[in-house]
Each structure stands twice: as structure tokens, then as C-alpha cells.
Amino acid sequence: MAIRIIRENGDEILRKKAREVEKVDDKIREILNDMVETMHKFNGVGLAGPQIGILKRLVVIDLYDDDGPIKLVNPKLIKEDGKQEVEEGCLSFPNQFAKIIRPKKVVIEALNENGEKIRVEAEGLLAQAISHELDHLEGILFVDKIIPGTLEYVEPENNK
């Protein structure tokens, strides 16, 4: 496993639409494992393929609970319900946070790291994270959706 470089604001790849994964193989599993390791290193909750420069429909999410990381290949939104106002950040926008409206509940279908079809029903933080990462696969960034006047820059701990 390896730590990948996270693409940051201004990198044009973040605005591109990711392509479907045609086959879940060892290379895809290696990328997913690298994504989890990279997300953990930077204390993220989610990471999408384009954020590490790979235009494939790959997403990893970890709420740091007993369930462990979720690895999604070719996730598709099936249903969303309700609305929630949330504070959100993004590994591609270090130290920036804003309020956003996200669905309260989502249902998605995807393949897991073994190429098996799975269905995930999520609410709250998991629904928020899934919505955020699915946006990345479409070239949509959280700053496109912020509630005006709520974007804040937080000074990193090691700079204080």
C-alpha cells in the first residue's frame, strides 16, 4: 500500500467526470487500499478517485466506527430523501470548511472490492459522505454547493 498525492483546489482533474471501472481486479483493489491509507493519513472521512488523480469511479469512506472502511466501485445513486444542513470540508481544500445542504438519506448501488454488487442505505454522516464523494465523480466540488457566507479557513494546528 502507498500514500497517494491528493490533488488540491485548482487542479483541473477535480473538475473532470470519472469513468466506469470495467473490471474489478487486483490493480483496482490496490488503488482502493491506497485510497484508504491516504484518507487515514490525512484524517479524511472519504476520498474519491479523481482526488488522487485517477479518473475512475472509485470511492472509499470511513466513519472510524466498528464497520471499518467502505470501498465502492461504480457507485450509483438510487434514491435520496430529506435534507440536512451540515458542516463540510474536503481533503482537496485543506483547512476550509463550510455549511452545505445534503440529503438526509441516500440509497446507492455499487460493486465492492470483490466485484460483487452491493446496496448501501445511509443516513446522517454516512449519507453526507457518500453524497460528497459521488459529487467528486461528476467533477462537482463542495465549494460549488456552499451556503453563501459560511466558508471558513481554519489555521492548521502545526502552524499555531
Q: How many other CB atoms are there within 10 angstroms of residue 72's CB atom?
A: 26
pLDDT of residue 158: 65
pLDDT of residue 129: 98
pLDDT of residue 159: 53
CA angle 3/64/102 to nearest 5° reads 95
- Is residue 5 situated within a structural domain? no
Tell me the residue range of the domain where 120 lies: 12-159
- Is residue 84 situated within a structural domain? yes
- Is residue 50 situated within a structural domain? yes
DSSP state of 146: B
pLDDT of residue 156: 81
Give the residue ranges of DSSP H helices in 4-160: 26-41, 124-137
pLDDT of residue 152: 96
pLDDT of residue 1: 77
- Is residue 94 situated within a structural domain? yes
- As for how many domains the chain has, the answer is 1
Which residues are catalytically annotated? 133
- Is residue 79 situated within a structural domain? yes
Whole-model pTM?
Answer: 0.95
- Is residue 23 situated within a structural domain? yes
pLDDT of residue 155: 87
Tell me, letter by letter, the H, E, C secondary structure of 35-78. HHHHHHHCCCCEEEHHHHCCCECEEEECCCCCCCCEEEEEEEEE
Which residues, including other chains, have CB under 8 Å from residue 155's CB and lie 6 or more apart? 95
| Weakly modelled stretches of the chain, pLDDT under 70 | 158-160
Q: Provide the CATH number for the domain around residue 112.
A: 3.90.45.10
